[in-house]
């Protein structure tokens, strides 16, 4: 049976991939800035966010029936990452927080499809 990607799922995949890329870019930014930006817990949060976003996107692309579960975790991690990035007062960090929030929103909606299925 062929896998069909809905418009909502395509949007979620795009947001997950954008968030993954943004978090990876921000890791470099933070390490170059140093200080609090390079704090191990903050870098770890960005890495975890990038990983779950990539995993969620791949689960959706593969048509995995478990994608709603990865999206649920992804939404929680993205929200936490957004809050962590909001602590910093520079444009790159604010952009990352916004991207993480948009990804969390799309993933929450995707996770909710499990209860409707």
Would you place residue 112 in the very low, low, confident or very high pLDDT band (cuts 50, 70, 90)? Answer: very high
Residue 117: pLDDT over 80: no
| Structure tokens, 81 | 């990452």
What is the pLDDT, as a whole number, of residue 114? 64
7-32 confidence digits (pLDDT tens) = 999 999 999 999 999 999 999 999 99
35-77 confidence digits (pLDDT tens) = 999 999 999 999 999 999 999 999 999 999 999 999 999 999 9
Other Cβ atoms closer than 10 A to 44: 12
Give the Cα separation of 87 and 114 in Å (integer): 33
Would you place residue 5 in the very low, low, confident or very high pLDDT band (cuts 50, 70, 90)? Answer: confident
Q: What is the dihedral angle through the alpha carbons of 28, 9, 78, 31, rounded to the nearest 10 degrees?
A: 0
What is the pLDDT, as a whole number, of residue 2? 46
């Amino acid at each position: 049976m062929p896998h069909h990607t809905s418009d909502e799922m395509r949007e979620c995949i795009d947001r997950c991939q954008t968030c993954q890329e943004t978090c990876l870019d921000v890791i470099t930014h933070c390490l170059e800035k140093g200080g609090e930006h390079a704090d191990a817990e903050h870098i770890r949060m960005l890495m975890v966010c990038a990983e779950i976003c990539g995993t969620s996107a791949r689960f959706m692309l593969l048509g995995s029936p478990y994608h709603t579960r990865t999206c649920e975790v992804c939404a929680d991690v993205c929200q936490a990452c957004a809050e962590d990035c909001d602590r910093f007062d520079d444009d790159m960090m604010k952009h990352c927080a916004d991207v993480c929030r948009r990804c969390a929103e799309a993933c929450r909606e995707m996770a909710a499809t499990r209860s409707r299925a």
